[in-house]
A and B are shown apart, each in its own frame.
Chain A
Amino acid sequence: MKQKRDVQQGTLALMVLKTLDVLGPLHGYGIARRIEQISGDLLSVNQGTLYPVLLRLEQEGAIASEWGPSENNRRARFYRLTHTGRKLLETEKRDWEQSAAIVARFFEVKAEDLI
């Protein structure tokens, strides 16, 4: 079996932002589940590590949080994207696509193209 990869902190933050962007306000468990589902179990999130990342994003002002009732009527802390967070996501997304495109182009190059 191939070992699952650890998620890097920066990437995790980006995933969190995108998840909140798509699904709206969500609690920690929900975010973790979502990331797990989308990555198709390829990424093992040591789920606890999500919480320090959430705190950091909140301190940076990218997300905001408040207590609220969960689906089964528990008290849970819900996170939502702020205006700053949305802008941050936009720039991060652009950066990411750019670097991905560059790397992709490198992979497409064949030896004869370079001559």
Chain B
Amino acid sequence: MRALTRIRNFATARRGDQRLREELEQHLAMQTEENIRAGMPPEEARRQARLKLGAVEAVREGYHAEESFPSVDGLLQDARYALRQLRGSPGFTLTAVLTLALGIGANTAVFTLTHALLLRTLPVRQPGELVRLAIDLSATRADARDVPLNLPIIEAIQKQSRSMHDVFAWCVYDFPFRDGSFNGGIHGTIVSGNAFQALGTRPAAGRLLTPADDQPGGGSDGLAAVISYRIWVNRYHADSSIIGRHITVTDHAATIVGVAPAGFEGVIAAEHPDIYLPLEFQAALYGEPAKHDGGRLWLETFARLNPSVSRAEAAAEMNSLFPHILDATLPPAMRHLPVIEKARIEVKPARTGWSKLRMQYTEPLLLLQLMVGAVLLICCGNLSGLFLARASARRHEFAIRGALGAGRLRLMRQLFVECLMLALPGALVGVGLAWMAGPWILHMLGNAEAEEAISMQPNPTVLWVTVACAVFCALVFGMAPAWTASHISEEAALRSSHPRTSAGGARLRNFFVPFQLALSLVLVVVAGLLGTTVARLLTEDSGYRTDNVIFALTDFLRIPQKGDALVALYRRMAERMEELPGVEQASVASIAPFLGWRWADEFVATENMQHARPVEAMQNIIAAHYFSAVGIRIVAGRDLENSDSDSNSCVVSEAAARLYFPHGSALGKTLRSIVHDRTGIDSFRDYQIVGIVQDTKYDSLRESPPPIVYIPLSTGNEGQTNGGSALFFVVHARSMSAARSAYLTTLHEMASSSPEIPPMDFNQTLRDSASRERLLSVLSGFFALLGLLLSGIGIYGQVAWNVTRRTSEIGVRMALGATRAKVFALVMRQVISLLTIGVLAGGIAAIFAAHCVRSFLFEVKPGNPWVFALSAVALVLIGVFAALLPARRAISIDPMQALRTE
């Protein structure tokens, strides 16, 4: 009933103002008459009546509060007032909004990336139930976590698990794709038939894949394909008649059966598949055994937890089942390798899906998030200072409002609204800045796929977080001024003739500036350390010549030649490339350096078998001219040759020579490789060392050159070519374009049925191997600069305000004979003390921070004195520079003028 009245009052803006005013007037009149009757003079009678009635404005507000919705009403009123205040000082408003835009924008930009990569909840039914299953081999190999599964293991889990259901497989693929006039690549994925049912996804048109599609030979539609909503709209104009259309994927006919819903991007974060095919497609491409291969781990696996089963329970069940599953699925020769014996299954939450990028970028993103948080705090410090200065200039106003009956909370609320009126536009501009910086940040991930798939468009979650950021800012930078403002003694403030002489909030302000300086110093030190790391990484000698070299991954899986014929084809193609114009050398390699691929086996020197245990060395399978193609110097002996006479020769790096033959030369000696492959645990093969080459790094710039054994690509060794799926061509030419065209020409001539995988620029590969560090150093450097800039503004504001506040004091000093130099020293002394406190506190905090980031560093100690010293110097320079302007104003104060204004 009352609520209804209020709503009506609020909606119709009916104000009882008129009625209240009249009633209060009557009240005053009656009281005055009564007072006069009691014998007071009329003036006094009226005054006493007013005193008795109390603060009319407060009564009016209380009245309005009863009448309508007080909070909304008051907020609107506050907002209007704040707007007037801000319009009155455009310079202040602009500075504040821009500062906030930078601070909030940096946060939004980093958060957009964090959200896209780490936090975005999958748009599927009950995402909280989803888990990801992965094999953890870290007991034997430090980096082997998150290893995928394969189909036999998945089927066994599906059958035996009591804690999970809907186990499904997912594997990202790029396909050549033909449909009518369109002929090009398409980014896609192959999934087990139950994947869409398990996710609870509904089609936008047609139907999604079902287990029936995942049978040998496909389902009733043959090979069924589901396309993404994106290409349905972009390429097919959302035409429903495309259901049933025949398309060609990697030379296999498929039928479009449906369209995935809008916004569905599968379960791999930072990927955007445009076509979904059943796992059966693997069988269509490579034969039915390839789909059920128990020896290869290739399928990302997800499942749903049963109701009221925890992840820990599911993991416990998995690890009791896992040995039996391995017994049943692995080839016997692999089953008892130490790495398999110690393998465990991990059950990880998959509400947000999964991405390989997470292994690389989770920690850097968290670090960046912390850094932008610090930038935001610096912003808040700045604004707090500005607001405090304004608050002390507005003491008169606050005092008057207090005298009119405004409560302390009311005053604080009004200031808070004013802060919010700055923070929200700041956030808006910030979102714009973040959006513009988005592509640039993405590019620094050094991952073309992710760059394409991650959307830096602001989405609702990001916007909410940004708004929360803004409100947080308003609270933080509004708190101190609001507190001081609400504690102003009304009488003192009203009596004081000169608002400038008040020192309200001076102590608080003296806290904010060193706080900002300390935070900035931490940022600069961290950025300095990360920057040094990148510089060291990129100038680190890798041992290779990287200019004008390409590595081209081959996919010869569908070429009829297998085994020895395939080896011969690789050799012939490399030789053919060398005939083409501009090409210096061409070769083949099984490992391209710096892609993060490692292949290690155990070797032992045959002359030393009694004493030495087999030790691991990195391996690479190469053809002739590999060393000259990538600029590795042959120290002794000779290169490997493309002939079968060399099939039992090998070349070792100097580190390997030292490792296996610590006494005497390695040349001509024999190295025994202990091969753990499917044919038996202890099979071995002997290689005679025909050459020793200079050391190089292998898969990371961070490591020192490991021992490497180079084995020839040779016939009678079918495993080497891996069916043609895993070898690279290495081409060194006079120019990149010559290298590329030689590769493509040869590919078209001699292996025309193979898909064209864009070759990699070796230089770029090398640089991209440091992309994580590059992202960190560039962004942290940017944030550090931002921090410095903001601190500079903070110091400027503080000193300028102090000079203004002390104008008359300085005037008096000058009138009494203080020289300009003395006045200058007076001003600068304050700056120096602020800087000292800031640098000391920041230095201590930076030592901790540097310790926390040490895992990111390379060839630079977290306590590097140069980085610390230079950072401190930069901060001091900025501080002094920022203080110079107001200091100049101080020495140009005219004593007469200053004293007159007092």
Contact = CB atoms under 8 A, between A and B. Distances in A.
Interface majority SS on B: helix, strand, loop or mixed? helix
Contact of A49 (B6, B29, B62): B62
B63 A61 contact: no
Interface in A29-64: 29, 32-33, 46-49, 51-52, 55-56, 59-61
A29 B55 CA distance: 16
A79 B444 CA distance: 75
B52 A47 contact: yes
B30 A70 contact: yes
A28 B59 contact: no
B66 A48 contact: no
Contacts of A18: none
B53 A55 contact: no
A29 B26 contact: yes
Given A46-B54, A48-B58, A56 B66 contact: yes
B235 interface: no
Contacts of B30: 29, 70, 74
B27 A29 contact: yes
Interface residues of A, number: 22
B66 A75 contact: no
Contacts of A48: 24, 53-56, 58-59
B611 interface: no
A77 interface: yes
A76 interface: yes
Interface in A87-111: none
Interface majority SS on A: helix, strand, loop or mixed? helix
Nearest to B52: A47
Contact of A55 (B16, B24, B27, B55): B16
Given A29-B31, A55-B66, A49 B59 contact: yes
Contacts of B23: 27-28, 51, 76-77
B51 to A, nearest CB: 10
A28 B58 CA distance: 17
Nearest to B61: A52
B63 A55 contact: yes
Contacts of A32: 27
Given A46-B54, A59-B5, A72-B33, A51 B26 contact: no
Contacts of A72: 33
Contacts, number: 66
A32 B30 CA distance: 11
A61 B2 CA distance: 9
B27 A47 contact: yes
A54 B26 CA distance: 15
Contacts of A28: 23, 26-27
Interface string A68-86: 0010101111000000000
B495 interface: no
A75 B52 CA distance: 21
B65 A52 contact: yes
A51 to B, nearest CB: 6
Contacts of B20: 51
Contacts of B54: 46-49
B37 to A, nearest CB: 11
Nearest to B1: A61
B33 to A, nearest CB: 7
Interface of A: 27-29, 32-33, 46-49, 51-52, 55-56, 59-61, 70, 72, 74-77
9 closest cross-chain pairs (CB), A and B: A48-B59, A46-B54, A52-B62, A48-B54, A29-B30, A29-B27, A55-B66, A52-B63, A48-B53
Given A48-B24, A48-B58, 10 more contacts: A27-B23, A28-B23, A29-B26, A48-B54, A48-B55, A48-B56, A49-B59, A52-B66, A60-B1, A77-B22
10 contacts: A27-B23, A27-B26, A28-B27, A47-B54, A48-B24, A48-B58, A51-B63, A59-B5, A60-B2, A75-B26
